[in-house]
Structure 1
Amino acid sequence: MFDTFAYRATVFYRSFADLTRSRLQELGLHFGSLFLILYVGKHPGCTQAQLTADLRLDWGYSQRSILKLVEDGFLTREKSGRAYRMALSEKGAAAFAVSHQVFFDWDREHLAPLTPEERAQLMSLLDKAAQGGTQEKCTNT
């Protein structure tokens, strides 16, 4: 249809989002929770401020999402000085495993036609393209 990277990226995003939604829905989570669960799983004891800054989220969205994840039993929050430290609950750890695995499952399915060398080249080119966009943004600021 469109011979652009942006179009192909959108097609991949939709495919990934569909797979992720179906897996997370089984756990009672929505797609927007994916990166919150992954972040806390990889950074146990993090604060909401750290998570919000690193994921570039709106503070209000972050607050609502975290409170919902605590209320639903996926995260724990413990007061530490002026901040709350977050960690995954047992239910959250199960959600982390599913959330983490979905990336590998999607890659395995969609990159199956590529050889290991082609996969490595694709990842290298995507990294280069991502850095180019970052550099361009920095020079235009």
Structure 2
Amino acid sequence: MFQTLAYYATVFHRDFVTYTTTRLQALGLNFGSLFPVIYVGKHPGCTQAELTADLHLDWGYSQRCITKLVEDGFLTREKSGRAYHLDLSAKGKQAFAVSHQVFFDWDDEALASLDAEERKQLFSLLTKAIQKEADTTCTKPFTAP
């Protein structure tokens, strides 16, 4: 077994993607739409440019993702001036609730072997590691749901 953060990050990422994909498929969503749905849910009326910049997405990917979410009835896109503003539809609000909750549910499963104090310590150390990374790379860290 490897003793590197990269190894553990990869294991956790794979498990999270599998878990989340299973939960989202029931709604007709894929893992790639998780963060755009959460972003619009937390920033109603945002523009696609804001979403793209804040999530550090490629413009082409963002365009395809938003178009699909609108076509599938998860988002609404209203033109206001020169920009389109995004909001969740009723179906999108349900998807937001599931997408948001999946983080907490996965944590409960993945960290079941840790007690409350150990979880607190783990998150404290991870926060410290991320802050150091954010300070050296000048990128703002993603805020979890």
Same fold by TM (over 0.5)?
A: yes
Cross-structure match for 2:143: none
Amino acid at match of 1:23: R
Question: Partners in 1 of 2:137 and 2:86 — Cα distance?
Answer: 32
Cross-structure match for 1:126: 126
TM-score (norm. length: structure 1): 0.94
Cross-structure match for 1:9: 9
Amino acid at match of 1:58: D
Question: Partners in 2 of 1:120 and 1:36 — Cα distance?
Answer: 28
Cross-structure match for 2:110: 110
TM-fit CA distance, 1:45? 0.5
Give the secondary-structure state (helix, strand or coil) at the position aligned to 2:21: helix
Structure 1 stretch 51-60 or stretch 106-115: which is displaced more?
106-115
Question: Partners in 2 of 1:117 and 1:46 — Cα distance?
Answer: 38
Amino acid at match of 2:99: S
TM-fit CA distance, 1:137? 2.4
Question: Partners in 2 of 1:81 and 1:124 — Cα distance?
Answer: 44
What does 1:41-120 align with in structure 2 at a 5 Å threshold? 41-120=41-120
Deviations 1:66-103 (A, max 9, x none): 01100000000111111011000011111111111110
Structure 2: any 5+ residue segments left out of the alignment?
139-145
Amino acid at match of 1:107: D
TM-score (norm. length: structure 2): 0.92
Question: Partners in 2 of 1:110 and 1:58 — Cα distance?
Answer: 30
TM-fit CA distance, 1:64? 0.9
Structure 1: any 5+ residue segments left out of the alignment?
none
Residue 33 of structure 2 is aligned to residue 33 of structure 1:
yes
Amino acid at match of 1:44: P
Question: Partners in 2 of 1:82 and 1:136 — Cα distance?
Answer: 36
Q: CA RMSD in A?
A: 0.9
Instruction: Tell me the matched-pair count.
Output: 138
